[in-house]
A and B are shown apart, each in its own frame.
Chain A
Amino acid sequence: LAKTTQPISMDSYEGQEVNITCSHNNIATNDYITWYQQFPSQGPRFIIQGYKTKVTNEVASLFIPADRKSSTLSLPRVSLSDTAVYYCLVGAANDYKLSFGAGTTVTVRA
């Protein structure tokens, strides 16, 4: 599994856009990039997944440059309820053994 590196923590304010960058220099050709969100004492929640370029859903956008050695999760106009830990995972699409790093703790303040 490709190792990922992401910031330990980020602070933001309500209404701002939050961008979390994840580095994955050893990403393999078959690997996808997936992001999960986790609130305390709850299971991780799938946010978005992508392979290359840009993916957008109703919650977030995922930007992946051509070399795929990094990716950026973008959360538009965050609210207090977006305070959570965000995990970046890299692995083959059929990789059922998810490997979570330490994640990024995002704190949104009023």
Chain B
Amino acid sequence: KAGVTQTPRYLIKTRGQQVTLSCSPISGHRSVSWYQQTPGQGLQFLFEYFSETQRNKGNFPGRFSGRQFSNSRSEMNVSTLELGDSALYLCASSRGGTDTQYFGPGTRLTVL
């Protein structure tokens, strides 16, 4: 079974731009969660989607948004990029409920 895939793997943007990251969950998984990982703050939860609905959201500004499609694929958008948004963005999928979350390889975003 294929794992969680994320595209692109690497991205370089400049301040003020916006970016869209994509996540394809493991087949059959309906829950997708997004995390931001930085050296200073560690791994922080952004939001989680299940069956196209956002179920929970972390403490990030409104510039961070996401959505999930009917095939469970998810996208995350960051608008008006800031230098501090440079991070590894990870997505994790699960069947939902009591199932374990499985992480993708991440997208490394660098904001210049």
- Interface on A for B, CB 8 Å cutoff? 34, 36, 41-46, 49, 87, 93-94, 96-103
- Interface on B for A, CB 8 Å cutoff? 4, 31, 33, 35, 42-43, 45, 48, 50, 55-56, 58, 88, 90, 92, 94, 96-98, 100-106, 108
Task: Determine the distance from Cα of A103 to Cα of B42 in the docked complex, in whole angstroms.
Answer: 9
> Which residue on A lies nearest to B106, using beta carbons?
A43
Interface SS of A by simple majority: loop
| B8 to A: closest C-beta gap in Å | 14
**Beta-carbon contact of B33 and A96 below 8 Å:** yes
Task: Determine the distance from Cα of A45 to Cα of B103 in the docked complex, in whole angstroms.
Answer: 7
Task: Determine the distance from Cα of A41 to Cα of B104 in the docked complex, in whole angstroms.
Answer: 11
**Beta-carbon contact of A46 and B100 below 8 Å:** yes
| A48 to B: closest C-beta gap in Å | 10
Task: Determine the distance from Cα of A94 to Cα of B97 in the docked complex, in whole angstroms.
Answer: 5
Question: Which residue of the partner chain, among A36, A96, A99, A100, contacts B94 with CB atoms under 8 Å?
Answer: A96
Question: Which residue of the partner chain, among A36, A49, A97, A101, contacts B42 with CB atoms under 8 Å?
Answer: A101
Besides A93-B97, A97-B56, A102-B42, 14 more A-B contacts (Cβ < 8 Å) are: A34-B100, A41-B88, A41-B106, A43-B103, A43-B105, A44-B90, A46-B102, A96-B31, A96-B48, A97-B45, A97-B58, A98-B45, A101-B42, A103-B42
Residues on A with beta carbons closer than 8 Å to the beta carbon of B105: 42-43
Residues on B with beta carbons closer than 8 Å to the beta carbon of A101: 42
Task: Determine the distance from Cα of A45 to Cα of B92 in the docked complex, in whole angstroms.
Answer: 10
Task: Determine the distance from Cα of A93 to Cα of B100 in the docked complex, in whole angstroms.
Answer: 8
Task: Determine the distance from Cα of A34 to Cα of B35 in the docked complex, in whole angstroms.
Answer: 17
Residues on B with beta carbons closer than 8 Å to the beta carbon of A46: 100-102
Residues on B with beta carbons closer than 8 Å to the beta carbon of A98: 33, 35, 43, 45, 92, 101
> Which residue on B lies nearest to A87, using beta carbons?
B43
**Beta-carbon contact of B96 and A96 below 8 Å:** yes
Task: Determine the distance from Cα of A98 to Cα of B92 in the docked complex, in whole angstroms.
Answer: 10
Select the residue from B31, B55, B100 with max chain A CB neighbours within 10 A: B100
